[in-house]
């Protein structure tokens, strides 16, 4: 991830770059969840994590939402066990459908690298610059599922892990909450 940011950041695009230690793959976004509802949310996620297996993934392509012509979010695309990853995301969504806003877009597995600053114009040369970046696929194993609290602040988001489960394992790794 850092190699892509290092290649793209010198372009001077008006982006807020995600710190590499905050990089993650989101299966489901819940928005504001009251603290007293978190234990039930975790209880619904636990059996989904237990029934899943670790996934072999690769960070591959560089892309943008909503499109490469109007990049507002720059991301790394994923390859590998994408089918099982989609099944896992759907299972999490189904198990926790009482939480968070309904997702209207199909699941698009990615790792966010940067977001366009508020009010800034999207870079017009995104496609050309990305085409010149040579980047080998980076394999990794997704072997755990985490329930994360995100608090937005002036310096960017602060994440804290509320619960964490190993995929395919019965016990929770550690209760952070």
What pLDDT, in 10s, does the model give residues 32-86?
999 999 999 999 999 999 999 999 999 999 999 999 999 999 999 999 999 999 9
Q: Which residues, other chains included, contact 148 with Cβ-Cβ below 8 Å and sequence gap of 6+?
A: 24, 159, 160, 161, 162
Contact (CB, 8 A) for 60 and 76: yes
pLDDT in tens, 114-135: 999 988 999 999 999 999 888 8
Entry pTM: 0.88
- Segment among 5-19, 74-88, 96-110 with least mean pLDDT: 5-19
d(CA 114, CA 136): 20
Taking 70 as the threshold, does the pLDDT of residue 170 lie above it? no
Mark out the alpha helices in the chain (DSSP H runs).
2-8, 38-51, 82-95, 126-131
Closest among 8, 12, 23 to 133, alpha carbons compared = 8
Question: Which residues are CB-contacts of 110 (< 8 A; sequence separation ≥ 6)?
Answer: 25, 63, 75, 76, 77, 78
Mean pLDDT of the chain: 90
pLDDT of residue 3: 81
């Amino acid at each position: 991830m850092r190699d892509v940011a290092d290649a793209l950041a010198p372009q001077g695009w008006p982006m807020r770059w995600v710190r590499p230690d905050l990089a993650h793959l989101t299966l489901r976004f819940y928005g504001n969840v009251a603290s007293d509802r978190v234990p039930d949310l975790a209880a619904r996620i636990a059996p989904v994590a237990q029934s899943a297996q670790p996934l072999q993934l690769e960070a591959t392509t560089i892309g943008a939402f909503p499109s490469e012509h109007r990049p507002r979010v720059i991301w790394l695309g994923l390859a590998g066990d994408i089918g099982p990853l989609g099944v896992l995301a759907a299972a999490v969504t189904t198990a926790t459908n009482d939480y968070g806003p309904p997702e209207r877009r199909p699941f698009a597995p990615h790792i966010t690298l940067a977001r366009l600053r508020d009010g800034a114009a999207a870079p017009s040369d995104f496609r050309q610059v990305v085409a010149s970046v040579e980047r080998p696929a980076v394999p990794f194993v997704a072997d755990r599922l985490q329930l994360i609290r995100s608090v937005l602040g002036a310096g960017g988001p602060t994440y804290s892990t509320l619960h964490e489960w190993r995929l395919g394992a019965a016990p929770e790794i550690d209760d952070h909450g």
